[in-house]
Every structure is written in C-alpha cells, then in structure tokens.
Amino acid sequence: MLPRKKSPKKHTEPGTKRRFILPVSFLLLSFLLMILPLEGFVSSVKAVLAYVFIPQVRLAHGTAKYAEDVSQTVRELLDAHRENRALKQEIEMTKLLASQAESILDENGRLTEILQLRPARRWTGVWAKVAYREPTQWNTVIIDKGSRDGIRERSAVISMEAGKEGLAGVVVEVTENTAKVLLVRDEDFSAAVYLERGQEEGLLVGSGMRPVRIKYIPLLTHVEKGDKVFTAATSSIFPAGILVGEVSGVREDESFQTALTVNVEPQVHSSAVKEVFVILGNGGRE
C-alpha cells in the first residue's frame, strides 16, 4: 500500500491576515456606527465632549480671531501706505502752490507800491480750540487762548468748514488764558461786507435762529442765490477778503424799501466751530 501523499498547503506569509484585521475591523465598526441607531448615546457623548473641548474651541477661535485681526491690520497698513503716498503728492502740490502764491504776493506788493495803495498784509494769528459753549447762548463760544497769546478784544476769528476758511466771529472778551468769541449768527454781531458779483457793500448782521442778513444793499443791485459774500475793506475790525458765506435769498417782504436785504448762509456754521484761527494785530490793518 502506497503511502498517502499529503496535499501541498497554500503558503501564506505570517502577519498577512493580521495586517488586514485592523483596517477591516475599524471599517466595519464605522459602518456599524453609520447604520445603528445611536442617537441617545451620541448625544450624551456630544454633551460630555462639549465640556471637555471648551478650552480648545476657545483657543482655536482666539487663533482665528487673531489671524483675522492680522489681515485687518495689514489691510489698514496698506491703506495707510496708499494714503501716505497721496498725501505726499498733495504736500508737493501745496508746496508748488505756496511758491506760486509767494511770487504772486511779491508781484502784488510791487504793484501796490507802484499804485501807491495801502498794502494788505498777511494774516498772523493763533489757532485755538473751542473750550466751552454757553448752553443758553449757542452763538457764543469760549476758546482756550487769551491775552497771554496775544489775543485782544475785537480780533477777527476765522474757522475751517468743508475745507474752506470762513468768517467765524469776533473776540468780545479776553482773559489771560481764554477769550469769548461772538459768532456770526449772534444778534449782536455785525460786519461790513460786499457781494462778489457787483462789489456792492452792505452791513452783515446776525439774527439768532433766523438767517443772517446783509442790510443796505443798493435797491437795483442784481443779486442771485449762491453769490459769495466777503468782508469789506471798510470794516474796522475784519481784514478784507474773508469769505463770509453765500447768498441764500433776497427778502421781499418789506414794502417801501429803499435798500435790499439779502439772506446769507454762513460758510462756518455755529454748531460746527471746533478750532478757530484768531487774527492778531488787527489783521494787518495797522
């Protein structure tokens, strides 16, 4: 009897099966998690995890917030850089204009001398901030500079609004460190002014809450809305040529009138006055 031959067994590498056990078991487990109803268990674990991971969530959101702030800061820096370049160009332009103005002033001085006119001198003065407003008198402000800075009573005061300078008022009281300024709208304010179109002069008077008016304009003067109004050279207080405002209308309610009364919208509004320039030395009139 021949010995029975053993059938050859298929050779398998040790560990080959084991290598597949882990991934297959995890895949099977996750598959079971997907198909089995685990709502209650999952919600309980979620609730626990929500507590456990609070510091991490905060840290992650803090990091994200910091990154957002960085991008915001970079954007602001880039904007500032762009703005800086534009401002540098503007400064160059201003320097150019200043040098042109210098030459025009020189020319003006020569012509004034030739024509034997009284020369208009440049304004010199001090900038001051509005320190206080009287609640009962909105058309009067107190500024933070006084006689120590050279401010005298009846000094003209101008201010900037919308990038343009305009007449703001006049100094009426001075202490060592403060001064009281009567604004254009105040009922006690008055100034000699002229209309740019026809050079007709009149008297500008404030009237509280009502529009500012120019009285004594010759009757047949052609006045239009939007005409500019400047301080006149005949004024004893204000230097000539300060922009006061624009004509906003002509009053036609007065019968038997011998002169026109014109309403003016001031260039500088009382409520907008924050910083002012006080012209010293009577505006170069002396």
The contact set with another protein (CB under 8 A) reads: 19, 22-23, 26-27, 29-35, 38, 42, 45-46, 49, 53, 56-57, 59-61, 63-64, 67-68
Least separation in angstroms between residue 27's CB and another protein is 5
- One-letter amino acid of 273: V
Other residues' Cβ atoms within 10 Å of the Cβ of residue 276: 26
Least separation in angstroms between residue 42's CB and another protein is 5
Residue 179, burial from CB neighbour count under 10 angstroms (0-12, 13-18, 19+)? buried
Residue closer to another protein (CB basis): 29 or 87:
29
In this structure, what are the phi and psi dihedrals at residue 122, rounded to the nearest 5 degrees?
-70, 150
Residue closer to another protein (CB basis): 50 or 93:
50
Residue closer to another protein (CB basis): 34 or 162:
34
As a whole number of angstroms, the distance between CA 202 and CA 48 comes to 85
Provide the β-strand partners of residue 132.
Answer: 142
Residue 100, burial from CB neighbour count under 10 angstroms (0-12, 13-18, 19+)? exposed
Residue closer to another protein (CB basis): 31 or 127:
31
Provide the β-strand partners of residue 39.
Answer: none
Least separation in angstroms between residue 35's CB and another protein is 7
Least separation in angstroms between residue 76's CB and another protein is 17
The DSSP call for residue 27 is H
Residue closer to another protein (CB basis): 49 or 91:
49
Q: To 10 degrees, what angle do helices 39-52 and 54-115 make?
A: 50
Least separation in angstroms between residue 47's CB and another protein is 10
Residue closer to another protein (CB basis): 70 or 131:
70
Of 24, 20, 21, which is closest to residue 32 (Cα–Cα)? 24
Least separation in angstroms between residue 71's CB and another protein is 9
Least separation in angstroms between residue 14's CB and another protein is 15
Residue closer to another protein (CB basis): 53 or 127:
53
As a whole number of angstroms, the distance between CA 97 and CA 89 comes to 12
Pair 151, 174: CB distance under 8 Å: yes
Quote the tokens at residue 261: 């009364």
As a whole number of angstroms, the distance between CA 51 and CA 67 comes to 25
